[in-house]
Amino acid sequence: MSERVMDRAAMGRFVEAWCASWCRVDIDAVVSHFAEDAEMRSPLALKLTDSPVVVGAENIRAYWRQAYGAIESADLKILSWSWDDTIARLTVWWQLGDTRASEFMDFDGAGRVIRSEAFYGK
């Protein structure tokens, strides 16, 4: 059995890098953390693709380019985050303009995101 490469300190660094990548709208950098067969679920995906689930890193990249590719930068703010080591789940609460969201990301033993889901609210 391999030892996990994630701990709370590593997740803190991940959250900082993830936020910085989204602020630059560097979709390639965000997707680089995803496993090839990752699954991403979002209500915005339903609006743009007729399905709330996007499967596969390349499809996630294409979806995010469609959704955010015209934006040059974003003032994403991390409100809080938590790491559950038992199930390897990161939950991030963030805000962008008037939009508030929580997003969870599940990781595999190699530190790659295998599943993520976003929840939006005000």
Residue-wise pLDDT tens digits, 59-110: 999 999 998 888 888 999 999 999 999 999 999 999 999 999 999 999 999 9
What does the domain layout of the chain look like in residue ranges?
8-121
The CATH number, out of the four listed (3.10.450.50, 3.40.50.300, 3.40.605.10, 3.20.20.70), of the domain defined by the range 8-121: 3.10.450.50
Contact residues for 51 (Cβ-Cβ < 8 A; gap 6+):
45
The Cα–Cα gap between 3 and 20 comes to 28
DSSP state, residue 108: -
Contact residues for 3 (Cβ-Cβ < 8 A; gap 6+):
none
| Tokens of residue 4, six digits | 């996990």
Q: 73: how many CB neighbours lie within 10 A of its CB?
A: 10
Q: Which residue has the tokens 């995010």?
A: 64
| CB 79 within 8 Å of CB 93 | yes
Contact residues for 47 (Cβ-Cβ < 8 A; gap 6+):
none
The 10s digit of each residue's pLDDT in 18-29 is: 999 999 999 999
Confidence of residue 118 (pLDDT cuts 50, 70, 90): very high
Entry pTM: 0.89
Confidence of residue 2 (pLDDT cuts 50, 70, 90): very low
Confidence of residue 122 (pLDDT cuts 50, 70, 90): low
- pLDDT reading at 35 higher than 50: yes
Q: What angle do CA 17, 109, 77 make, to 5 degrees?
A: 25
